[in-house]
Amino acid sequence: MKSLFGICLASSLCLCLITTGCGESGQNDPRSAVDSFSTAYFNWRFKDAVPCVTPQSEKWLRFAASQVVEEDIDSLRAKKYAADITVDDLSNIDDSTVIATLTVKDYLAMDTIGAAPHRVTKRQFHIPIRLIDGYWRVHLSRLP
């Protein structure tokens, strides 16, 4: 009986993972794409943000990840809560481009190389999202 429960639990978990995030399954809309990206990015989970961005944008996430040092990790571990992200508005530029306006509260921002990250209480961002091969992805030309 326990093994049947374990199989059911594992199957349910896999189903949840498949139907969420920026992958080819789950919701395919600009709001979901930017929300998933922002939740990962502003909580420094750069690897989790990769499926949410265009192929050209991956280099920016790799760069951000390469700049993380032990002091940054200690600062993240000391933080009690994750960053709070709210997608305020989506502005259509054309059929395949949207600009998302979002507010991020209580996050750690990277500083210059060698300096500890600093806490930002509240900041607004404008994030471009593009329709690539039928899926909405964040398109970075620089780090937010």
AA identity, residue 80: K
Contacts of 48 (CB under 8 A, 6+ apart): 21, 40
Domain residue spans in the chain?
A: 30-138
94: three-class secondary structure by DSSP: strand
**Does residue 129 contact residue 33 with C-beta atoms inside 8 Å?**
yes
CATH T-level assignment (fold) for domain 30-138: Nuclear Transport Factor 2; Chain: A, (3.10.450)
Q: How confident is the model at residue 83 (pLDDT cuts 50, 70, 90)?
A: very high
Lowest mean pLDDT among 8-17, 42-51, 58-67, 78-87: 8-17
Using 50, 70 and 90 to split pLDDT, how confident is the model at 137? very high
How far, in Å, CA of 86 to CA of 5, rounded? 37
What's the mean pLDDT in 6-11?
40
Q: How far is Cα 106 from Cα 32, in angstroms, rounded to an integer?
A: 21
pLDDT tens figures, 12-44: 433 333 334 575 555 689 999 999 999 999 999
